[in-house]
Each structure stands twice: as structure tokens, then as C-alpha cells.
Structure 1
């Protein structure tokens, strides 16, 4: 049964729903990426070239870092808590000058999912946009030297078991995680897909200055609209893709999240997409027709959608580049 939902409760759960928080908007726009300093480039010998240290985070994230450092300090993972964040300078610059052109921002249709894996399809590595006034969109392509799809799949069955593991991924933004059936997730006799898919994962994290409380339903890519044969043909052997629900409204899908990965000579190549909000192309998911009124109720308008899209782009860029940096060592120690 749907829980009672209000503007206040969903603001604590919907990503970057910062309606009425003028001060937060001032703090985060133009935002994190524009405050990334190139004065302290990280030493990363890969195809991206220059790297930049992330030197701005919302106050909420600064406080979360302190909490997470204390939480991780007494765990076996303490040596792997790295709070120095860095991203490719080109990626940071790519989102500093506004959203993608409308023709470059795909809707969440099954057809557009499959365009993503079409080798003839070309698009920017990083970008964000607003679709139809009530849907935020963000995209990224990240190459992870030293990371394999096997490591990636291991990570998604290892980190949700304890919130301290989740904190390692983005120490300034990740708060908590849990999974519906932890025993199944830890059962190494099962395949990755049987452990993770249809085993709901609740997460709490900061997206910019706004707290997200959501339930992630990881699924077979084909259930989301992908052509499984096309994925295999193009070498994609790992997926952590899902439909997501706000915890106060666990029956209303408000996000389609795509993470598909393949191994390359340069390292694992990860394509990510986020469609957050309401759109007619979400109709293939049960109860999607309820999303527009839910979002309208909490004031998720075009301005909020744009802020959400931008902050999601920054968050994704930061957390997955950081995961690329820390995953080989963590996997070696605990995998």
C-alpha cells in the first residue's frame, strides 16, 4: 500500500528536490563542477589527460565526510577510505555551460536505450538536460583503467551489505545502504544476476545539497527495454541498471537508471544514464502514470528538474571516477 506522501517527506527522498530552498540553490548553482580547481591535478596516467581536484562540496557533504570517517575508522576497510576526489578536467568543463541541446537529450524509451549501444550512435561523454519540464536527464561515459567488469559486478554484490562499504565509494555523499535479502546477495554459489537482480537495494545519499532516500530495483537489462543480443554483440557483459522508487512512494517509479559496462584495452568502459521524474516514455513500467501528479504535488517543476539534472551529472562524474581509483585495491584485499 502506498505510504502517505507529502512535499516534506519527498523532499527528503526525491533527488535534488529543493523547492523553496533559495539558499541551497545559490550554494549549488553554478555548482560543484565549476568550482573544481585545476590547481591540484591528480596524477592519473590515462587517456583523459588532465585531472582536477574537487575543491567544492555543499555543507551537508562536508559534514557527512566527518560522520563517515568516524564510521569507517574501526572497520577492516579503514585503509581504503580516500576522501581526495578528482575528475577529468574535460568532463568537469563539459557541463559548465548549460544543458545539452534538445536534440542531444534522449527520452527514456526502449528505442533510445538501444541507440546507446549502437556503434554508429555518437554523443557527448557528459551532459544533462530537462525533458518535457518534469524529467531530469544526465549522461556519462567513463573509462576505468585497471578495472574489469568482473570487479564491477563484485562491487555491486559486496558494497550493499554494510553502509561503511558504501561510504568508501563517495565519502562525502553516501549515507546508508541496505538490501532486502542480504543472504542472497552474499551467496557466491549464485550468479551475479541472481544475487543482485530483483533484490531491492535501499540507499540514502546526498545529491548536491538534497538528501535522496530511494529503493533501487536492479533488473535484467531486457526487462528495462534493452536488446539482450545487441548488448552481447557489442561486448557489454555487466549491468547495474534499475528502476528506482522514492521510499515514501514505493509503488511509483520516478527514475530509470542505466549502468552498462564492457572491458576494453584501456580498462572498463561504463555508460551511465539517469532519467529522473515523469515522462510518457516511462509508461512501460507499472504505475508510471502516477508520477506526474506526485511530482507536481511536491513542486518538481522545470527549474527543479534542471537543478536535479545538473547535480546528478556532477554526482555521477565524481563517484564513478572515484570508484575507478579505489576499486582495484579494495577488490584485491577483499575480493
Structure 2
């Protein structure tokens, strides 16, 4: 599934590829993860992305992999779209990746008019790049459907979507910048951090919404 095919997530049930990583025919490295979060609803996920800011808060999300956190843009108002998260983190290894994550409207990737019929409670859409470097190198979405037990999050990362820099969107460049081992580490990291989030988010949300 390429970014322009992301509306496949709106289909009932599940797709053949829901977890792992694979190299697409254009060189993009697609990473997929699926997490079940007990007693967590989509509105809590949406709130979390408008809340997390400090390094202390970020480390709670993944104490081992998360190293540093800051935010560029509006904060503390419940709005995060348009803002940029500066995140230093490990992705299943020892290397610390210095990332910038710019949040975008879900409608730029998905047909939000179909969300209600598809049971979608929220979708977190962003583009990613290296902090301090020009442009962007990847895209991502966390696609959330509420369930009787809480919610499920189906995450997709497209590594190798180069924009506003001098990187070529060709097969060779994408493989060089994002080798397969990056996909393996990211898939592991995403599943771990979302599993951890599910453990503390319900109580944290209630503390801020008595």
C-alpha cells in the first residue's frame, strides 16, 4: 500500500499486511504495526498527541527508547495539527534518531467523510524528517477504530517520501537512506510504545478530565 492508497484502511476488517515491514516496488519502505489498547478510546489518543511535550512526558511513553522531546508551535490548547514534535529516540537499536514530526490534517491523506461509516474515531497524520535538516523524508498515520474493549490502532509508515530537500525519489536513494533494518526496528518500537501508552493513558486522561 502506497501513501496514495491509504484509503484502503477504511475497508471493513483488516488488510493482508497489518504488521511488519516490506519494500514496495518504488523503493519506499512500508512499516505496519497493529496495537490493541484496553480502556483507551480514540479521543484519548487524539488528546495525547495534543498533550505530550516535555522530555519527562515523552519518556513515560517509552522509558528505554525515548531520549528528548520538545515542541514547535501552539501547545496546551488541545490543538496539535500544524505543530512539530522534536523527538530524539531509538528505534529498536542503540542509535538515537533526531526527528521532527509535523502533524497534518488527516484529510490530506484519507477520505475523512468515510470515517463515521468505517467506525474510525481518529487518525493521526504526519510527515517526518531529520531535526535540523531541510525538508521531509517519510509519512505516517495512526488509524484508530474504537472497539468494545477500548480501541485498536493500525499504524503505517512510508519511509522514503522525500520532499523539500535534494533527495531523489528513486529506488536506489530510498534503499540507501532507509535500509530494511530500519523497518524492523521501527515496527518493534511502534508496537512497544503504543502498548506502553495503553497502560497509563486512561488514568492520565481521567486526571486531566475529572
Short-chain TM bin: 0.7 to 0.9
1:259 to 142, 154, 159: 142
What SS is found at the alignment partner of 1:196? coil
Residue 176 of structure 2: aligned partner: 301
Aligned match of 1:209: 94
- How far does residue 239 in structure 1 lie from its aligned partner after superposition? 2.0
Q: Choose which of 45, 68, 73 in structure 2 pairs with 1:152.
A: 45
Shift of 1:241: 1.3
Aligned ranges 1:131-150 → 2 under 5 Å: 131-132=24-25, 134-150=27-43
Please give the alpha-carbon distance, in whole angstroms, between the structure 1 residues aligned to 2:176 and 2:106.
30
- In 2 relative to 1, CA 274–293 (structure 1 residues): closer, same or farther, beyond 3 Å? closer
Q: How many equivalent residue pairs?
A: 208
Which residue pairs with 2:207 in the alignment?
A: 333
Offset at 1:219?
1.0
1:138-162 deviations in Å (ceiling 9; x for gaps): 11222211111121122111112x1
Output the TM-score relative to the length of structure 2.
0.87
Of structures 1 and 2, the larger Rg is shown by 1
Q: Say yes or no: does 1:185 pair with 2:98.
A: no
Instruction: Answer whether contact 2:100 2:128 (CA < 8 A) is retained.
Output: yes
| Correspondences of 1:64-213 after superposition (within 5 Å) | 106-109=1-4, 112-119=5-12, 122-132=15-25, 134-160=27-53, 162-181=54-73, 184-187=74-77, 192=78, 195-207=79-91, 208-213=93-98
1:31 equivalent in structure 2? none
TM-score using structure 1 length: 0.57
Structure with higher helix content: 1
Whether contact under 8 Å (1:196, 1:218) holds in the other structure is: yes
Kindly provide the CA deviation profile for residues 198-222 of structure 1, in whole angstroms up to 9, marking residues without a partner as x: 1111111111222211111111111
